[in-house]
Amino acid sequence: MNERTMKINLGPHHPSTHGVLRVVLELDGETVVDARPDIGFLHRGIEKLAEHRSYHQFIVLSDRLDYLAAMSNNLAYVTTIEKLVEIDIPRRARYIRVALAELQRIASHLFWLGTHAHDLGAMTPLFYMLREREAIMDIFESLTGSRLTPSFMRIGGLAADIDGNFIAAVKAFTATFADRADEYETLLTANPIWKSRTKGVGVLTTDECINLGVTGPMLRSAGNDWDIRKSHPYSSYEEFHFEIPTGRAGDVYDRYLVRIGEMRESAKIIRQAVDGLPAGPWQAKDARVFPEKKELNTNIAALIQHFGLVMEGFKVPPGEVYNSIESPRGELGFYIVSDGGARPLRLRVRPPSFVNLQGLVKMIRGKLLSDAVAVIGAIDIVLAEVDR
Amino acid sequence: MNVDLIMDNFGAGIAGVTTAHGEVTVRATRDILNPLLRFLKEDEEFACDFLTDLCGVDYLPASPRFQVVYHLYSLKHKHRLRVKVAVEESDPVVDSCISLWAGADWHERECFDLFGIIFKGHPNLQRILLPTDFAGHPLRKDFPLEGIKEQ
Across the interface, whether the CB atoms of B101 and A45 are under 8 A apart is answered no
CATH number for A189: 1.10.645.10
- Mean pLDDT (whole number) for A208-221: 92
CB < 8 Å to A211, chain B: 101-103
Q: Is residue A310 part of a domain?
A: no
Residues from chain A that touch B80, judged by Cβ atoms under 8 A, are: 322
Quote the pTM value: 0.90
Q: How remote is the C-alpha of A200 from its chain's centroid?
A: 26
Q: How many domains does chain A have?
A: 1
How large is the ipTM?
A: 0.90
**Interface of chain B toward chain A, CB-CB under 8 angstroms:** 20-21, 23, 25, 49-53, 55, 57-59, 69, 71, 75, 78, 80, 82, 101-103, 105-107, 114, 127-131, 138-139, 143, 145
What HEC string does chain A produce?
Answer: CCCCCEEEEECCCCHHHCCCCEEEEEEECCEEEEEEEECCCCCCCHHHHHCCCCCCCHHHHHHCCCCCCHHHHHHHHHHHHHHHHCCCCCHHHHHHHHHHHHHHHHHHHHHHHHHHHHHCCCCHHHHHHHHHHHHHHHHHHHHHCCCCCCCCEECCEECCCCCHHHHHHHHHHHHHHHHHHHHHHHHHCCCHHHHHHHCCCCCCCHHHHHHHCCCCHHHHHCCCCCCHHHHCCCCCHHHCCCCCCCCCCCCHHHHHHHHHHHHHHHHHHHHHHHHCCCCCCCECCCCCCCCCCCCCCCCHHHHHHHHHHHHCCCCCCCEEEEEEEEECCEEEEEEEEECCCCCCCEEEEECHHHHHHCCHHHHHCCCEHHHHHHHHHHHCCCHHHHHC
Which among B111, B110, B116 is positioned nearest to B143, based on CA atoms?
Answer: B116
Q: Mean pLDDT across chain B, nearest whole number?
A: 88
Summarised one tens digit per residue, pLDDT across range A289-305 is: 776 677 778 888 888 88
Strands (E), chain B: 14-20, 23-28, 50-58, 66-74, 79-87, 93-95, 118-120
Nearest to B129 among A39, A214, A319 (CB): A39
- B149 pLDDT band (50/70/90 cuts)? low
For residue A354, give every residue at least 6 positions away whose Cβ sits within 8 Å of its Cβ, in sequence order, or none: A39, A385, A386, A388, B106
Q: What is the pLDDT of residue A137?
A: 92
Q: Looking at the domain assignment, is residue A291 inside a domain?
A: no
Interface test with B, best of A65, A354, A360, A383 (most B CBs within 10 A): A354
- The reply to whether A209 falls in a domain is yes
Q: Which amino acid is at A325?
A: I
Q: Which of A39, A331, A335 sits opposite B69 (nearest CB)?
A: A335
> B7 vs chain A: nearest CA distance in angstroms?
22
For residue A39, the chain B residues in CB contact (below 8 A) are 128-129
Whether B50 sits inside 8 A of A319 (CB atoms) is no
Burial class (CB in 10 A: 0-12, 13-18, 19+), A198: buried
Residue A85 within any structural domain of the chain: yes
Residue A365, domain member (yes or no): no
Spatial neighbors of B129 by CB under 8 A, at least 6 apart, are A39, A40, A43, A387, A388, B110, B113, B114
* A223 near B CB under 8 A: no
**Mean pLDDT for all residues in chain A:** 89
> Is A331 an 8 Å CB contact of chain B?
yes
- The amino acid that residue A382 corresponds to is V
pLDDT at A122: 85
From the list B73, B27, B80, B20, the residue with the least C-alpha distance to B50 is B73
The answer, for A44 touching chain B at a CB cutoff of 8 Å, is no
Cβ-based contacts of B20 with chain A (< 8 Å): 319-321
pLDDT over 80 (residue A108):
yes
How many Å apart are CA A327 and CA A235, to the nearest integer? 13
Position B15 scores a pLDDT of 82
Cβ contacts of residue A205 below 8 Å, gap of 6+?
A222, A250
Cβ-contact A35, A355 below 8 angstroms: no
Does the pLDDT value for residue A21 go beyond 70? yes
The confidence band for A133, taking pLDDT boundaries of 50, 70 and 90, is very high
**3-state SS, residue B39:** helix
Could you tell me if residue A90 is inside a domain? yes
Closest by Cβ to B102, choosing from A51, A84, A211: A211
Full residue range of the structural domain in which residue A188 is found: 46-286
- In degrees, rounded to 5, the angle at the alpha carbon of residue B82 between the alpha carbons of residues A228 and B100 is 90
A333 touching B (Cβ < 8 Å): yes
- Is residue A297 one of the residues assigned to a domain? no
Looking at the partner chain, which of A213, A319, A350 has a beta carbon nearest the beta carbon of B101?
A213
Residue of B nearest to A227 (CA): B75
A195 touches chain B (CB under 8 A): no
Q: What is the pLDDT of residue A14?
A: 75
d(CA A170, CA A371): 37
Pick the residue of B41, B53, B55 with the most A CBs within 10 A to test the interface with A by mutation.
B53
Looking at beta carbons, which residues of chain A come within 8 Å of B25? 320
Calculate Rg over the CA atoms of chain A: 22
pLDDT at B151 (0 to 100): 47
Residue A282: what pLDDT? 84
DSSP B30: G
Interface test with A, best of B51, B52, B84, B124 (most A CBs within 10 A): B52
> What does the pLDDT look like over A310-320, one tens digit per residue?
888 888 889 99
Average pLDDT over residues A147-156: 88
Is there a contact between B103 and A355 if contact means CB atoms under 8 Å apart? yes
For residues A127, A67, A215 and B51, what is the CA-based torsion angle, rounded to 10 degrees? 160
Comparing CB atoms, the residue among B20, B52, B145 nearest residue A213 is: B52
The CA distance from A233 to A261, in Å, is 20
**Does residue A199 lie in a domain region?**
yes
- The predicted structure's pLDDT at residue A292: 67
Residue B67 is predicted with a pLDDT of 92
Residue of chain A with shortest Cα separation from B49: A210
Sorted by where each starts, the structural domains of chain B and their CATH numbers stand as: 4-102 (3.30.460.80)
Residue in A closest to B115 by C-alpha: A48
* Cross-chain residue pair A48–B58, CB shorter than 8 Å: no
Mean per-residue pLDDT, B104-118: 92
Q: Is the pLDDT of residue A201 over 50?
A: yes
CA–CA gap between residue A113 and residue A103 (Å, rounded) = 15
